[in-house]
Structure 1
Amino acid sequence: MSRRTLAIVIPALLAVTLGATPAVARSHSGVLTSFALPAGFQPEGIAIGERPYAYFGSRADGDIIRVGLVTGETRVINQGPGTPSLGLKLDKRERLFVAGGSGGDARVIDTHNGKVLRTYALQTVPSFINDVALTGGAAWFTDSANPVLFKLPLDRKGKLPAAAVRVPLTGAIKYAAGNNANGIAPTPDGRALIVVQSNTGKLFHVRYDGQTTEIDLRGDNVVNGDGLWLRGRTLYVVQNRLNTITEILLNKDATAGSVISRTTDGSFDVPTTIAEYGKRFYLPNARFTTPATPTTPYDAVSVRIP
């Protein structure tokens, strides 16, 4: 297994004022390589589509902000419900699917106007709706507190369903104390899902009916695994408190994989998840080890894709 450490990306020094364009660091292509987020925002999720905009959710109050990756302009597109906005994914219609954390819900937001298109009450028991993936004609949400996925089936025109479908997790995964199923991504063949269990560091192949099989990592693990990102047959796992992106080469059906690199960076401060734009990965620094106050500074940073 090789280990690669990327050069430090210097974070922006000036705080973002909503609607303003702060001083930022840029790549040679002109997109930002780091930028400040609003003080006290407590970011966790990030989503980037085909256009140069990054969307972030607040675990403090659920606000959704958009940052221009060229201009640095930051604005709130949706006022949160007062409960968290965690994992985020954009579809081709530029709708944002939002995991609602301890609120036990999911939301779908039109990023053009900030309107909430639909809200889904997924759980009435204590829960932690943590992340979301778009694959297999559906949006899939994890619950870190309960062994279940929630599926929003989408028809060919992308119509949102009236209600979510509950898919219990069975087989190899066993829930324990701490954060369980967290990040979620499609398999390389697009026929199933990959889920990381944060507290054990295990990855699971998950059929659409909820049956789980542990992915053989040949003795390795990704403890504190959070956000996942798939590129071809390569899976990238953000290990939040380890300040690490782990690169795993999977076989075609994602039943086995080998760790081929671990990337750290001096700008990481407990990054949670990952999105891609212009040959770079962007990560929000959640700063879980720093006391969260209304004035705590937050930022997002980027590194070249390993």
Structure 2
Amino acid sequence: MVSAARSFARRRLLTTAAALTGAAFLGGTAHAAETRKGAWPAQFPLPNGFQPEGITIGAAPFAYFGSLANGDIYRAALATGSGAVISKGLGAEHPTVGLKIGRHGRLFLSGGASGELRTVDARSGEIEKVYAVGGTFVNDVVLTPDAAWFTETYKAVLYKLVLGRHGAPVAVENLPLSGDWVQGDGFTANGIERTPDGSALLVVNVVAGGGGLMRVDPRSGTARAVDLGTAKLPNGDGLLLLGRTLYAVQQAQNAIDVFRLNAAGTKGTAIARITDPRFRIPTTAAVWGDRIYLPNARFDVEQPTPDTDYDAVAVHRV
């Protein structure tokens, strides 16, 4: 159930707090609370009780957020911070965790504990199709030219939603993970991105080596650990790649760790850590201009209610 999965996530966040002192210290620290007068809002509210987790921003200055509570999609204008629910979810058993918007206006949603992938027309809000993949927790998603790739938290597998003409979904395929992949007894895979050269996928594995990145061959499923030096991602969640700069949200640490990758994504160097007093366990990140936007998931709230407040914040790119 969604509530059980959410409780597990909170338990993991709280029990891993002890690992924070052992997490790698990244060379630079950027505090990004200051904003220019007259600028677009650097913080804006989301609906009370919404329980946000994922965020995506497309070719226009609008951010889309998914709800863990019921699967709703909320769209906010970055220029004003105002917004509205544009797609109703399927209910409490069908959360929206990660999400991405394609260039043809289609949203790709990870269904969490429902074991679903879903697609939504971002213009009409209509749920186009639901794919029951038999997953235990479909977590995050990244788009490539020919597919939407989804992580599975409790199984050593990725789900590939093959895309055809105009980005339309065609079929779902499973890609078993092998090589250096370590599947823990519980929560393992989380965020996903592409390598800078587009040849492979990068997947957060919070178990292997104390938490880090795996580079996955999208043809064979062979995973190899990315060399991040002494840096660890024990609380790694959403990933955001901008050129060769990778932003990895460390949710329970209220931080974003920033790495400079080589083109193939086999090696990364820690270059900065972004912190901000407005962070309340951010989970995922998306970019517009010189800003990175994140939803505050507030996983430290043990029992969210319809009145629990949520918001999104923006920080400057490194």
Under a length normalisation based on structure 2, what TM-score does the superposition of the two structures give? Answer: 0.87
Equivalent pair of 1:2/1:261 in contact (CA under 8 Å): yes
- Measured in 2, the distance between the counterparts of 1:47 and 1:302 equals 13
Aligned pairs for 1:124-139 (under 5 A) are 127-139=136-148
From 191, 196, 205, the counterpart of 2:199: 191
Query: 1:118 offset after TM fit, Å?
Result: 1.4
Equivalent pair of 1:136/1:190 in contact (CA under 8 Å): no
Q: Structure 2 vs 1, CA of residues 295 and 76 (structure 1 numbering), >3 Å: closer, same or farther?
A: same
Amino acid at match of 1:166: N
Equivalent pair of 1:27/1:33 in contact (CA under 8 Å): no
Residue 301 (structure 1) aligned with residue 313 (structure 2): yes
Aligned pairs for 1:4-19 (under 5 A) are 4-8=29-33
Residue 177 (structure 1) aligned with residue 185 (structure 2): yes
Instruction: Extract unaligned runs of 5+ from structure 2.
Output: 1-25
1:50-104 CA distance string (max 9 Å, x none): 1111100000111111111113322111111122101011110121100000000
Query: 1:133 offset after TM fit, Å?
Result: 0.3
Query: 1:136 offset after TM fit, Å?
Result: 4.4
Instruction: Extract unaligned runs of 5+ from structure 1.
Output: 10-25
Amino acid at match of 2:98: G
Equivalent pair of 1:225/1:237 in contact (CA under 8 Å): yes
- Measured in 2, the distance between the counterparts of 1:47 and 1:177 equals 30
Aligned pairs for 1:78-117 (under 5 A) are 78-82=87-91, 83-117=94-128
1:225-260 CA distance string (max 9 Å, x none): 000000111111000000110011111111111111
Amino acid at match of 2:77: G
Q: Structure 2 vs 1, CA of residues 213 and 29 (structure 1 numbering), >3 Å: closer, same or farther?
A: farther
Query: 1:179 offset after TM fit, Å?
Result: 1.9
Report the equivalent of 2:172: 164
Report the equivalent of 1:283: 294
The alignment of Structure 1 onto Structure 2 pairs a total of residues equal to 287
Query: 1:156 offset after TM fit, Å?
Result: 4.2
Report the equivalent of 1:16: none
From 195, 201, 207, the counterpart of 2:217: 207
Residue 59 (structure 1) aligned with residue 68 (structure 2): yes
Amino acid at match of 2:27: S
Equivalent pair of 1:250/1:258 in contact (CA under 8 Å): yes
| Overall identity of the aligned pairs, in % | 46
Report the equivalent of 1:155: 164
- Measured in 2, the distance between the counterparts of 1:27 and 1:229 equals 24
Instruction: Look up the SS of the partner of 1:92 in the other structure.
Output: coil
Q: Which runs of 4+ in 1 moved over 4 A?
A: 26-29
- Measured in 2, the distance between the counterparts of 1:139 and 1:27 equals 37
Equivalent pair of 2:61/2:78 in contact (CA under 8 Å): yes
Query: 1:3 offset after TM fit, Å?
Result: 2.0
Equivalent pair of 2:295/2:313 in contact (CA under 8 Å): yes
Amino acid at match of 1:8: A
Equivalent pair of 2:53/2:98 in contact (CA under 8 Å): yes
Report the equivalent of 1:71: 80
Amino acid at match of 2:80: T
1:100-124 CA distance string (max 9 Å, x none): 000000111111000112111111x
Report the equivalent of 1:23: none
Equivalent pair of 2:96/2:112 in contact (CA under 8 Å): yes
Instruction: Look up the SS of the partner of 1:164 in the other structure.
Output: strand
Equivalent pair of 2:32/2:274 in contact (CA under 8 Å): no
Equivalent pair of 1:99/1:132 in contact (CA under 8 Å): yes
Q: Structure 2 vs 1, CA of residues 133 and 7 (structure 1 numbering), >3 Å: closer, same or farther?
A: closer
- Measured in 1, the distance between the counterparts of 2:145 and 2:289 equals 26
Report the equivalent of 2:13: none
- Measured in 2, the distance between the counterparts of 1:180 and 1:7 equals 30
Equivalent pair of 2:30/2:272 in contact (CA under 8 Å): no
Report the equivalent of 1:261: 272
- Measured in 2, the distance between the counterparts of 1:5 and 1:277 equals 18
- Measured in 2, the distance between the counterparts of 1:106 and 1:247 equals 29
